[in-house]
Amino acid sequence: MGLFKKEKSLDQASMKEGVGLITLTEPTSVIAEQFRTVRTNIQFSSIDQKLRSVVFTSAGPLQGKSTVSANVAVTWADQGVDVLLVDADMRRPTVHQTFQVPNKRGLTSLLTEETFDLTNTIQKTPVDHLFVLPCGVVPPNPSELLNTKKMDKLIQELTKHFDLVIFDVPPVISVTDAQILASKVDGTILVVPQGIVEKGSVAKSKELLEVVHARILGTIMNRVKAENTGGYYGGYYGTEDK
């Protein structure tokens, strides 16, 4: 008899291989078009206040945060906007695999070194105007690293150099990292896979984000059935969840 419940192991595919960049491989597909719609909707959600930093999170793991944030980043860069995608999911990082860049240095280096050496840490990607900051060496204490004045300073510094900084972060319900980062950025987007997440956990996520006064811009419905949207991904955003 085990004293402790064995933790269910999560799928490792996107950590090993990165996520699919359909906006890059099939830019004329319906799915890529859906990602462009998501981008446009996010832009319109923040018309009064310039959006310089955005967090993408979800209630639980494996709900499409990394896929959606990376693809939306590509569509934004396609418009000629200088975008930085930051892998702030220090628990299940994917960005270095997705964009095939080294992960020796990354966000954790910047947060633990005396000065910000952006030049040697931020990487170019094959997409014009799109840069990435990989996670770097996975630390034992991600929440403590993120919940610092240094992180505030880093966000300030990054938004000086880039038009838009997108953060891929862990799920809201499991750990506090998303709440910490959501409280520091201009806007937060909740990725909700249709039919997979229970309504209760979406409401709980919203509650947790509101506690830290995150500005929730809206939700993106992921894994929406083709017959409902005309596409595989649903770029549905910011109505009743607001």
Ligand X SMILES: Nc1ncnc2c1ncn2[C@@H]1O[C@H](COP(=O)(O)OP(=O)(O)OP(=O)(O)O)[C@@H](O)[C@H]1O
Residues 60-119 that bind Mg ion (CB under 5 A): 65-66
User: Whole-angstrom Cα distance, residue 216 to residue 54?
Assistant: 10
Residue 132's beta-bridge partner residues? 85, 123
CA-to-CA distance for 147 and 137, rounded, in angstroms?
18
Residues making up the chain, counted from first to last: 242
Contacting ligand X (CB under 6 A), which of 139, 196, 223, 238? Answer: 223
Q: Is the dihedral of CA 61, 149, 69, 17 positive or negative?
A: negative
Residue 23 contacts ligand X per CB under 6 A: no
The answer to whether 37 contacts Mg ion (rule: CB under 5 A) is: no
Residues in region 146-185 near ligand X by CB under 6 A: 171
- Does 72 sit near ligand X (CB under 6 A)? no
**Adjacency order of strands within the sheet including 123-124:** 123-124, 130-133, 83-87, 164-168, 53-58, 187-193, 216-222
Is 96 one of the binding residues for ligand X (CB under 6 A)? no
User: What CA–CA distance (Å, rounded) separates 78 from 57?
Assistant: 23
Nearest to 90 by CA among 146, 135, 157: 135
We find the least distance from the C-beta atom of residue 57 to ligand X, in angstroms, to be 8
Residue among 87, 89, 177, 186 that touches ligand X (CB under 6 A): 89
- Where does this chain touch Mg ion (CB under 5 A) — which range of 58-66, 129-137, 151-159, 205-213? 58-66
Least gap, CB of 200 to ligand X (angstroms): 18
Query: CB under 6 A: which stretch of 64-72, 102-110, 159-167, 195-203 binds ligand X?
Result: 64-72
| Pairwise CA distance, residues 196 & 222, whole Å | 10
Position with the least CB separation from Mg ion = 66
Which residues would be at the binding site for ligand X (CB under 6 A)?
Answer: 13-14, 19-20, 58, 61-67, 89, 92, 94, 171, 222-223, 232-233
